[in-house]
Structure 1
Amino acid sequence: MDGGYTGIAGRSVLAIGAHPDDIELGCGGALLAHVAAGDTVTMLVVTGGENGPGDGARGAGRRAEQERAAEMIGARLVWGGLRDCEVVPDSQTVRLIERVLRATRADLVYVHAPDDSHQDHRAVASATQGAARRLPRVLHYQSPSTLSFSPTVFVDVTAHLSGKVAALAAHATQVELSAMVEPDAVVASARHWGAQARIGYAEAFQPTRLVLDLAPVQGGAVAAVPASWQLTPSMPIGTV
């Protein structure tokens, strides 16, 4: 598989999150769009979320919730096996992410934004930047705990917003205890970014790198443009 990403079916996408529900909240709509386009999507959840909202006995429940959400998205799920609130961006974490990158042959990665008040989010973002240092496409998503976020890349999720909300609802132990993942807030955020992107609903991303592959699109119909032409006063602007 070559390294270019043009949205052509069959590309490999890796989404990385520190805890169960992080990925769905940050880029669930984009992942659904990738699956709909025929891309292969893998979700790497680095910890089991043992210290999240709810009592400690919910650890196994959170795993089941995450497995159900990944199934709803149509993604393969990989567990990182690290412990919630103890993730550090050391060589072990970098190697973990490198192994998944090699196994999936990913050419596009989604991960937490680096400037975040949750230490696990910061650590996962930093380790991913190290592991994906040779990858030409790394996009960062926003979390409720993100501190600064200046997105310049947007994905139209208008057709997939209900699917994103449904995948988040699979994380019942979190939705019932956190206003940050309630459906109204998710929809409002998507509408906000959609307005910024001049579309209906969007997810927003801050790139570390985003290399565009401008290879010709196979089978695409493109209107012919004369080799030489001039705008005349009588020509309506909308026809150019």
Structure 2
Amino acid sequence: MSREKLTILAIGGHVGDMELTAGGVLASHSLMGDHIVTLALTAGERGVPAGQDMAEYRAQKVNEAKAFADMLGGESIVFEIPDGELADSEEMRYRVCDVIRQVRPNIIITHFKNSMHKDHMTTHRIVNDARFFAGLGSFARELPAHFASKLYYAENWEDAVDYRPYVYVDFSQEAYDLWLKALSLHWFVTGSKSFPYLEYYKHLARVRGIEARKQYAETFMVPEETMRLRNSEL
């Protein structure tokens, strides 16, 4: 019996957020034939390297998002909103709602609720509401309603306050290698002096894998209302 193909939509505040935090799982699903879509609500251009024009770096970030998605056989979407200026508004909720209705994902991955970064927290709130709006046919939009049945919050060092790993998803060496190859196309991952992104997330994947008694894994939180285990017996 063939496995149902899934569509996964990973939504970050900036280009690179979901690629770092959920990229191993995204790579794993791409190898299984699933469709991967990344949506960045801003490009994250304020992390511009010293001496580089910010508009030029924004274009570079958009290209990096596309290159990552291309390597996973997927697609990328980057909104034109300036980094650091993401509005916590109904308009943004409807924009993301429209993307959800366009992509029609089975699974959405986004930021956890707490963060040191304003755009991450705003993205969390936008996505939660946009998922709700997208699923209700009574919200009249250009495209028909679609409800993504599963929602996960990725583990991010910037979103660490009160984060507790709830779901462990393991992946293979092949997926790990694909993830790192695609991830290394992002300048800030390999070139930033502010934080050793590549080293941190490589080791985190191994640590979470050990905890799961596997080789590599990434962890996720879920909405509080879904934190229930249903068993008929012990």
Shorter chain as normaliser: what TM range?
A: 0.7 to 0.9
> Do 1:47 and 1:82's aligned partners in 2 also have CA atoms closer than 8 Å?
yes
Bigger Cα Rg: 1
> Do 2:40 and 2:78's aligned partners in 1 also have CA atoms closer than 8 Å?
yes
Task: Could you tell me which runs of 5 or more consecutive residues in structure 1 were left unpaired when the two chains were aligned.
Answer: 1-6, 213-240
Deviation at 1:175?
A: 2.1
Could you tell me which residue of structure 2 aligns to residue 129 of structure 1? Answer: 128
Task: Tell me if 1:22 matches 2:30.
Answer: no
Could you tell me which residue of structure 2 aligns to residue 150 of structure 1? Answer: 164
Task: Tell me if 1:36 matches 2:24.
Answer: no
TM-score (ref. length: structure 2): 0.81
For residues 173-188 of structure 1, the aligned pairs below 5 Å read 173-178=188-193, 180-188=195-203
CA, structure 1 residues 105+181, in 2 after alignment: closer, same or farther (shift >3 Å)?
A: farther
Tell me the secondary structure at the aligned position of residue 116 of structure 1.
coil
Could you tell me which residue of structure 2 aligns to residue 226 of structure 1? Answer: none
Could you tell me which residue of structure 2 aligns to residue 189 of structure 1? Answer: 204
Q: Which amino acid aligns with 1:193?
A: R
Q: Which amino acid aligns with 1:144?
A: W
Tell me the secondary structure at the aligned position of residue 9 of structure 1.
coil
CA, structure 1 residues 147+182, in 2 after alignment: closer, same or farther (shift >3 Å)?
A: closer
Cα separation, 2, equivalents of 1:147 and 1:94: 24
| One of 117, 135, 141 as aligned partner of 2:154 | 141
Could you tell me which residue of structure 2 aligns to residue 236 of structure 1? Answer: none
Tell me the secondary structure at the aligned position of residue 180 of structure 2.
helix
Deviation at 1:191?
A: 1.2
TM-score (ref. length: structure 1): 0.79
Cα separation, 2, equivalents of 1:170 and 1:121: 22
Report the structure, 1 or 2, having the larger helix content. 2
Deviation at 1:183?
A: 3.1
CA, structure 1 residues 179+190, in 2 after alignment: closer, same or farther (shift >3 Å)?
A: farther
> Do 1:152 and 1:207's aligned partners in 2 also have CA atoms closer than 8 Å?
yes
Could you tell me which residue of structure 1 aligns to residue 98 of structure 2? Answer: 99
Task: Tell me if 1:89 matches 2:99.
Answer: no
Deviation at 1:77?
A: 1.0
Q: Which amino acid aligns with 1:196?
A: E
Task: Could you tell me which runs of 5 or more consecutive residues in structure 2 were left unpaired when the two chains were aligned.
Answer: 136-147, 229-234
Cα separation, 2, equivalents of 1:52 and 1:194: 30
Deviation at 1:80?
A: 2.1
Q: Which amino acid aligns with 2:82?
A: R
Q: Which amino acid aligns with 1:166?
A: K
> Do 1:138 and 1:210's aligned partners in 2 also have CA atoms closer than 8 Å?
no
Deviation per CA, 1:146-205: give whole Å up to 9, x if none.
132112111112331111111111012442014645433222100111122221110100
> Do 1:190 and 1:203's aligned partners in 2 also have CA atoms closer than 8 Å?
yes
Q: How high is the sequence identity, in percent, across the aligned residues?
A: 24
Deviation at 1:26?
A: 0.9
Moved more, 60-69 or 48-57: 48-57
| One of 158, 164, 170 as aligned partner of 2:185 | 170
Aligned residues: 206
Cα separation, 1, equivalents of 2:188 and 2:170: 28
